[in-house]
Structure 1
């Protein structure tokens, strides 16, 4: 065996083995001291990434379990308070039944009523003061509660706790629209024979320019079964003025009633704004004229049971100028069914136009009707104290126009959380060829002032026409949907105008029915755009079933409760079942009940039964959510357990294996050290050769 002194290869090998066994000893010591197999990314890069994701999931699941338990605590707090509210209502019902008994005099019932009123106050106190973690639970302000019950985003369970104060409890659950409609009549041009115009298939009767508007209304009331008529005249500003009057400036308003009598009002005195002017008009006209500011900042004037209103604005302060407008005839369907207007065998298109379909100045557009599908709608007078929304009284001056009602509701929207706006919906029944190219010219249709190009082609399906409308939705605010052979046009802007700017003889083949709108609908007519291949012949029919609407929207997401005054008929204000608005309700609340008479006690029993039903429903929903959360917690705990086991198999150290590795590394360390010492001594053997 050769001997070298410059390079000691056995020593180098022993050093390397010593370093290797030292690394194994360090790794085994680290794992045994930490209990983890992976202590740094170098130990297992993929395993570290997987274990970290599992750690995120496990910690998220564990927090979700705590969240669910917090949700159960909130629910149990609310449910406990509701149990006491139930006990209070049961006692109130007991007192109401006792008061309904005929043996008590007024003094006895007054004593019973005193306890009822105290219980109502306690009901409100519970609703106002019951809270969890600083949040009130039963006053209606809690809104949607979303519990994060998962380890990932948007894994939630949501629920709501409705208000259970006395203003809310006891109300019914019917949904409601405020409905109204109108048609414009040109009295000076009307000359009707007995069967010229039919409403719901019944003749309106003869009428000429010597008759008054009241005569026409009487004809409708007398001759048309199920339909009642009244009049309303509205004057809307086309631009916004300041409304500021100096001490010397005046505005003159002249109102002509249904029999032709005129009454003039001179509005004088200083005002500082358009709203001041509106308030002054309301005060100075003794309720005959109703003034309001609409959503566009314009002054709107309305007069019930009148045929004409004229405004003279010499100082241009109102934004209207010198303006005159005729009355709209309001037709109310007593049964809630649509109203159909048609001309009879002897009638002409002009008869329909003069009765309500009057030509405008642009593109042969005819102002159409707004007929209700409900009884007595939004044009009925809304008086002070008649209406409350979410417990807030709509204490505006007596209002008998849609504009006034919208303004009255929106004036208190901050308190109610409810806004009002108009809606429009037009349904067109289409069959056959819808539009066809005539004389090679390009067809187009005008909707809300925008020309929509139909490409000069023949259109035979509603889908193509709907697509053309929807391409212009951003400009017109109108969307179109196909419902079988019908085309549904919808808008939140309050009116839908259909017309044409084409000079060609565009034709609409088929019938136009079911047109729905806010206060007026515009349907093109005449040579440019007709409802048949030619101008309507004698005996033709225009059938319109129109619903005007005032839409209430909750800005908070909470249900809308509508409460009527004691002497207010819901049907008269249009607050009857119509389109579903989602939680709107009306009736008498617990706050309004008393048992001071037998009659009131009987009413109180029904109201309390409604209130108990509401609380029972709320408690049932909360109980269901509680049980659901119990199952959620069980499932989350199970998933967390299995995820922890999976992470343990990846991350945790196996002590049996690691102690064996430690023992091996320790032996190797000692052996390597001994061998290294011997290897380092080998070069010294050369010295014996040199002796």
Structure 2
């Protein structure tokens, strides 16, 4: 191309400028790539490869996060493994103690001390199970696998693995087993002690009798207690007159004294009138010295001995002492008036105050009572104050007694000893609408036993021969501790010397029904679980003086185990009189959401497996079973329940497994399910070494628990090993993907340096040529200047 010499357009400069711009752009790109290290900095650099690189970068970040997730998962599992290791160590110690307790050289005291450590270890296992957590997430109490709830306490669940969400209907068809029954040895009264009980209540409201002191036993005849309501008249009538009745006498050899009809007038008290002659006389009718004394039957207060002299064939006078006023007149029979110093006579005295027959007193527990023995009537004691015998029902649901102490005096016809004694009658509150607060008329019989005979329910523990050793040392000089195990729980009761046998019955009943939750929930059954046999009866009550102990649960779950000091256990002498047997139950579980039966099982175990996946059902042995007291046999029997709520139960299961995200995509996760490792789940809630047999069973129970813990730890170890492998795999994938992404996006420094040098040289040449091109118009201008 040729051109003329022009000055308006510098075509040579423009051509150089375009080339310089192109080289400048190449140089700028090279500098940008070298400074950033990236071949592709923006999408306009290479759109398709930039898209591939961004996807790879997201994948790499996902791999890095997944690796961190796996690391966190390992930490999570290592926390659980550490806790499981401690549980394992404690189980090993428990097994060591169980083997030690199985040795016959140990006493109950020794086992009691060993058991204390076992109890503490069980509590610590439960504490570790409940408190071990990672980032507030519980690990080994079952919550890391699943959750459950039920509308009843008859069934519970132990999460043992992976579970599925569901509402399950649990149906029970049960063939009941039987409960274990234990009996104590015969409790006998110590020498010099007395026991009393109500032989027959009759129509009265005398429900119990206690504290017999210095009265005659009833081997030769019972005491009868006649009770009269104010409406009955007679002994309790408003117009009752005073009287004096001969009871007994003591006469020495040669004495011959007999009395005719006796009259007496007293205005303020019923009680006993004692006479003792103070001189010898063959003609006492003409005059003989004697003294008299009065003792109140109502409160036991005594007057003083006062001296008198017989006159005109009579013992007569006015006795005034300590507030007691008695006018007496006792005629001697003709020809029967020979006495000796020390001859004694005893009379009962009934006062004349009577009982007012008014509506207020009738409705509020007044009345009168009279104790008779072997046909000899004691004084009639009048109670004319409201609530003096019977108190109204206080509506507390507990049968209360108003204790009324009656004082007695007997005269031993062989030794001439006056014996002042007493006995306490318990008047039961009446709950009927018509009888509430009223004393009921009738005759009750009272039996009194002496030392060496079977005790009664009101006998104090300190009065039992069983609790005194051969050296006379009393066991209850100090409080005794009795620990009771059952239903995966334990409780402790404390026994005092002043506790009666009935107190012990009440304490154990409360411990079993409330503390251990081993009652039936039915009062008529629960009050028969612990009973004391005062007399021979049916069932297990054939031996008087024994205590029967049982729970309302069948099978092994209903067994009771007791431990205390060796002396206490020896004195109780517990033995099994009826072995327990398991319920045979058919259990069906149906998922209400799908209608599918998840499992069915026939088993005798209260812990049921393979009915709901990942769940062990712990079934209360009362489920599907009703307990009732068989009055014919005197035993507690069991029958299939007719109540719908006792046959069909619901259980709601929620899948709460821990999911560890170990990949970059949806679903790339590791499901971790850890079972509960508490005492209930491990089956050691009832484990004890109270006896050698218990210790032998404990070894097996602890071995089974160890097997479960070992299996869990192995499972945790497998999880950890898998996560370690996952981390290695993720690292390899990250390395390879990073390398691939680098080849796409990173700058080749050598090549880019060469390109930059080329562009730089070209650009410099462009600048030099541009300078030359800019000189061409000046040449044309020089022609004009010339």
Superposition TM-score, scaled by structure 1 size: 0.40
User: Which of the pair is proportionally richer in strand?
Assistant: 2
User: Which of the pair is proportionally richer in helix?
Assistant: 1
Bigger relative contact order, structure 1 or 2 (CA pairs below 8 A, ≥6 apart): 2
Superposition TM-score, scaled by structure 2 size: 0.36
